[in-house]
Structure 1
Amino acid sequence: MKIQFESLSAFIAAADTGSFSAAGRKLKKSQAAISLAIQNLEIDLGFTLFDRDGKYPKLTQQGELVLKDARELMSQYSAFIERSKSISSVEQVKLRIGIDPLVCCHKINEIIQDFSMAFPLVELKIVQQSSESLAQKLTDKTLDFALGVFSRDVKNNFEHVSAFQLNGSWVVSPTYVEDNQLRLDNGVVNIEKTVFNQSRILLPSETPLTDIDEVSLTKQIWYVEDIHTLLSFCRNGLGIAYLPNFVVGHDLERGSLNKLMLDSEQTGNNSCRASLIYLLGYQKSSAVDWLTRNFLKFKLCDPD
């Protein structure tokens, strides 16, 4: 069975207008062409769609059932045509972006949600890994661009745009404070440089951050790419951690972590700057340009 589109169109028009001649006028075809198209449809289906004994053709019971399916099919066809027209205007159907969890705060999530409404036809693939891993994937051409905290050496190999500031804090668990007999004052831990330099440091990335030169003097540094794992280690008293404020905000409020102060200075007020990186010579589509502009709109990534 091979149903012709023209036959279905003629059938629906005849049912809607009440006659073959009116259907012809609606479709700008002759009455004979409409009648032939419906006859061909009836032959394909194997039953009669119209009772032609009266002055005007009347739908049979089978015809009424077929009409419902025919309308649905034509509706789907129309939607297909409109979607195809929309797709033809899309520059980039698939977009692959990398986002370091270090910078994936609530504002980034909001931008992605807005993007889904602005570009509903673009298929988005989001990879969340460390900035170093994202840079490698960009080199391998498995990503279109990446958002993260990148070292100067990495930036030199890509086109990059400086984005928002990311504030972070040094934090420790109450268990760590108790075990190491540290001073706790209103939820803030005071620690001497010598103690800090001999402590195990937990970092989410090997990317250098500003104002933490003390780390180079520490006894032991653990780099843990997964933020949730690093946070768990810190909660269990395995060391002093440096994490974005939007990650540790709830722990600080609940008292499951304490902010660290070094020699009466807030080591927790360290910051770094997120950057967008692309392969050299990368031509931005309208979708990528939209994301770039929106990632650059806000200046600071911090807790709500």
Structure 2
Amino acid sequence: MLNPEQLKMLVLTDELGSFSACAKHLGKVQSAVSQGIANLEIDLNVSLFDRSTRKPTLTPEGLRLLDYAKAILRQNEELLSAAAAIDKAEEPQVTFAIDSALMLPKLADILKQFSEKFKVTRINLMTIESSQVATMVANGSADIGLMFADPNFLREIELCYIGNLPLYGVCRKSHPLAMLETVKAGDLIPHREILFKDFQQSKKTELPTFGAEHWYANNFHEIKTLVETGLGWAYIPEHMVGKNHSEQDLKKLNFSFDHKPWSPPIDCITQKNRAMGVSLTWLYEQLKGLLD
């Protein structure tokens, strides 16, 4: 069986350029490193370093085996990390169901921190409609979820209100509404409004409707696409409009009747009475501040 410490000596000697530098890095005497490399060469029946020069250099055989040594050391570290995770009660994986409209830039930062903190816990990210988020968490298909709040929530889920998601009215820059400095309710009547609708529950948006012509979509990203092509106007989440909306093909509408943006409530949900491990608990606590 190969000795991981000897493999580390091989890798470090190549990276640092000498047996003495490797020994200093490992806190050992040079003779211990030299002997460790020699023992590894005996085990592999291969000469790893050319010692005829002042600076030891890898032989062609040593160079060929170097990547294998690095791979074994990485696997060894992953094994130790996985064992430590088990000891800390970290979940091997977390299934995270989320309404696609809630994929905020800050969420990506949270997931990046998660990956750095829990290196062996895999995230399964599913973007679906809010009604499906609740169902998946309730039946155990998902461990945690983010969704638009629903007063008719399932009893099997635990709710945590985390804030509100601001929505703004927008249209394409070439749309007639874009020419108006202030848009009144009556100005909207002749124009098509594109609304969010959860087709799983035949549930329409809680947003106000104007005029008689409405189109529906179950995804705010699709709604934005329709608006960008000039098919109508719509309310979409603030982060989809973006701070640089002036650089996009969208115009944020200045409504005379909206003193503040429409902001539906958002819930973070988990299965009721379910014990959470270390990684899921950390994610749950971080998501509480997503809309702060």
- With the length of structure 1 as denominator, give the TM-score of the two structures: 0.65
Match of 1:260 in 2: 253
* Percent of aligned positions that are identical: 17
Distance in 1 of aligned mates of 2:159 and 2:275: 13
Distance in 2 of aligned mates of 1:88 and 1:167: 40
Bigger proportion of residues as helix: 1
Distance 1:154 1:275, change over 3 A: same
Match of 1:100 in 2: 99
The answer on 1:280 being equivalent to 2:272 is yes
| 1:176-215 correspondence to structure 2 within 5 Å | 176-177=175-176, 184-185=180-181, 189-193=182-186, 195-197=187-189, 199-206=191-198, 212=207, 214-215=208-209
2:215 to 218, 222, 234: 222
Q: What SS does the corresponding residue of 1:136 show, helix, strand or coil? A: helix
Match of 2:125 in 1: 126
Give the number of the structure whose alpha-carbon radius of gyration is greater.
1
Distance 1:134 1:220, change over 3 A: farther
Distance 1:224 1:298, change over 3 A: same
Contact 1:205–1:224 (CA under 8 A) maintained in structure 2:
yes
Unpaired runs of at least 5, structure 1: 24-37, 50-61
Distance in 2 of aligned mates of 1:77 and 1:251: 44
Letter in 2 for 1:233: L
Q: What SS does the corresponding residue of 1:121 show, helix, strand or coil? A: coil
Distance in 1 of aligned mates of 2:75 and 2:96: 33
Instruction: Output one character per residue of 1:146-187: Cα deviation in whole Å (capped at 9) or x when no partner.
Output: 112132113555211001221110112233316xxx7611xx
Distance in 1 of aligned mates of 2:241 and 2:90: 39
Distance 1:127 1:290, change over 3 A: same
Match of 2:77 in 1: 79
Q: What SS does the corresponding residue of 2:142 show, helix, strand or coil? A: coil
Distance in 1 of aligned mates of 2:245 and 2:74: 53
Distance in 1 of aligned mates of 2:283 and 2:185: 43
Match of 2:141 in 1: 142
Q: What SS does the corresponding residue of 1:274 show, helix, strand or coil? A: strand
Quote how far apart the aligned CAs of 1:268 are. Answer: 6.8
Q: Identify the range of structure 1 (100-109 vs 83-92) with the bigger mean alpha-carbon deviation.
A: 83-92
RMSD after superposition: 4.0
Q: Provide the aligned length of Structure 1 versus Structure 2.
A: 248
Instruction: Output one character per residue of 1:3-25: Cα deviation in whole Å (capped at 9) or x when no partner.
Output: x569x99xx9xxx669xxx99xx
Unpaired runs of at least 5, structure 2: 10-30, 48-58
Distance 1:267 1:248, change over 3 A: farther
Distance 1:174 1:76, change over 3 A: closer
Contact 2:82–2:120 (CA under 8 A) maintained in structure 1:
no
| 1:44-123 correspondence to structure 2 within 5 Å | 72=69, 75=73, 78-79=76-77, 82-89=80-87, 90-123=89-122
Distance 1:274 1:121, change over 3 A: same
- With the length of structure 2 as denominator, give the TM-score of the two structures: 0.67
